[in-house]
Amino acid sequence: MHQGRTTLYEQLARIGKVVMHPKRIELLDLLCQGERAVDALAGATGLKLGTASAHLQVMRQARLVETRRDGTRVYYRAAGEEVCRLVAALGDLARARLAEVNQILGEIGAGAAERVTRAELLARVRAGEVVVVDVRPTEEYDAGHIPEAISIPLERLEARFADSHELDVFTDLDPDKEIVAYCRGPLCLLAPQAVAALRERGWSARCLEDGMPEWRQAGLPVTRSRGANHPTVEATNQLARGQTAQMASSPINGLKPSARKSPDRTGTPATSDYAVSQRSS
């Protein structure tokens, strides 16, 4: 019996081996936004290609990530939604138990950002009172975003402000509506930085309480840009279970996700082509 428990904990320690390294947690966080090639992951995390590949191999051995090959390129994705829940749980635990985490967030201004709950956002979108802005990189927006959200990556927002300090620099935003920005999750700095820049220039703006993974895990509708044909985390889960995705009615405006087009400021039409299973995170 004792040997059996030891063997069990040894298997659990395979997961611990992944999350003991900060760069592996960062890689998992990125993969919870959508599938990426090794070179893209290396660039996003500031790692050398060989170093990023070595980290990904450790994560693959622990079965936290999966791969597919397209020609000579290898693409990685989170192995399932439970992997992304693990990343979110690590963040929650760190904020609850490590004062240093909240201190860091406070120093960079992320901790003070006013947050909008998912329920409030849904109600205000239905009422036409807000504009939802996804400030993650375009490839993450394409892989899955909140219906009705428009894509303005933080780098593009900052560049447009640098070119002009006028409020009409964003002709695709309604100045009479509040902006709700979101990114990768509650520890992501992109949305707080975007909100700070918008407020500094006179816009009414707040952050969503968390990010895209938490939205997806809550069973809320997700839109994927047309042409983004790589597997999503949820699609991977459904394939593993041998299930076909069932379209659920969207809480936004009461329309089914497949029945509406989502604004895509990159020039490519977007459509809601799947919805996550209705379960709470």
Catalytic residues: 183
Strands 221-225 and 270-275: antiparallel
The C-alpha atoms of residue 216 and residue 220 are separated, in whole angstroms, by 6
What are the phi and psi torsion angles at 202 (to 5°)? 100, 0
36-37 sheet: strands from edge to edge: 36-37, 73-78, 65-70
What are the phi and psi torsion angles at 150 (to 5°)? -105, 150
Residue 209, helix vs strand vs coil = strand
Bridge partners (DSSP) of residue 78 are 65
Most distant CA atoms of the chain, gap in Å: 70
Length of the chain counted residue by residue: 281
The residues near 58 (Cβ < 8 Å, ≥ 6 apart) are 17, 18, 24
What are the phi and psi torsion angles at 127 (to 5°)? -80, -5
Say if CB 29 and CB 85 are below 8 A apart.
Answer: no
What are the phi and psi torsion angles at 182 (to 5°)? -140, 160
The C-alpha atoms of residue 246 and residue 273 are separated, in whole angstroms, by 10
